[in-house]
Amino acid sequence: FIFASSIISILIAIMKKKIYDINILFALGAKNKLIYCVFLWYSLIYITFGIIFGTSIGLLISSYFHKIIQNIEKFLNTKFLSSNIYFIDFIPIKVIYSDIFYIVLLVFSLVIVCSSYSILKIIHKNSIKSILS
């Protein structure tokens, strides 16, 4: 959800910067559907790269998590989960690929729905402004 909200805020910022371009497209006779498709492609590109990079970095970190923690413990000269204090002295990690698929699908659908709403909101706002002008 944090990822989806950051993508949505990036898209809203891009759309606010592009309001001048949207008004030019309206003046040239572009329909709402064209503007909607352009910004939906923007959101699809951002979310595709975000999902690819985020999932790959997350899987990479989870596969080497024990080595990363060992290096941090060596660097700080301390033990995070001492076997004298805790029952386990490691953090158990199990990657379930079906869960990753469902999370990616949920984030993808959430961003598409939210970006569609924000796109339609800006298009409606600009079409009203162009009608009143």
pLDDT digits (tens, 9 = 90+) for 26-41: 788 878 888 888 888 8
User: CA-based Rg of the chain, rounded to a whole angstrom?
Assistant: 22
All structural domains of the chain with their residue ranges: 1-30, 31-130
- Per-residue pLDDT at 26: 76
From CA 28, how far away is CA 34, in angstroms rounded? 12
pLDDT for res 56: 92
Task: Supply the pLDDT for residue 57.
Answer: 93
Task: Tell me how far CA of residue 111 lies from CA of 1, 9, 80, 102, 131, in angstroms.
Answer: 9, 10, 37, 14, 30
Q: What is the pLDDT of residue 126?
A: 62
What is the structure's pLDDT at 132?
46
Q: Which tens digits make up the pLDDT trace of 59-116? A: 999 889 888 888 988 898 887 777 666 666 667 788 899 999 998 898 888 878 877 8
Long-range contacts of 49-58 (CB under 8 A, 24+ apart): 50/3, 50/7, 51/104, 51/107, 51/108, 54/3, 55/100, 55/104
DSSP state of 30: -
- Residue 129 in this model has a pLDDT that exceeds 60: no
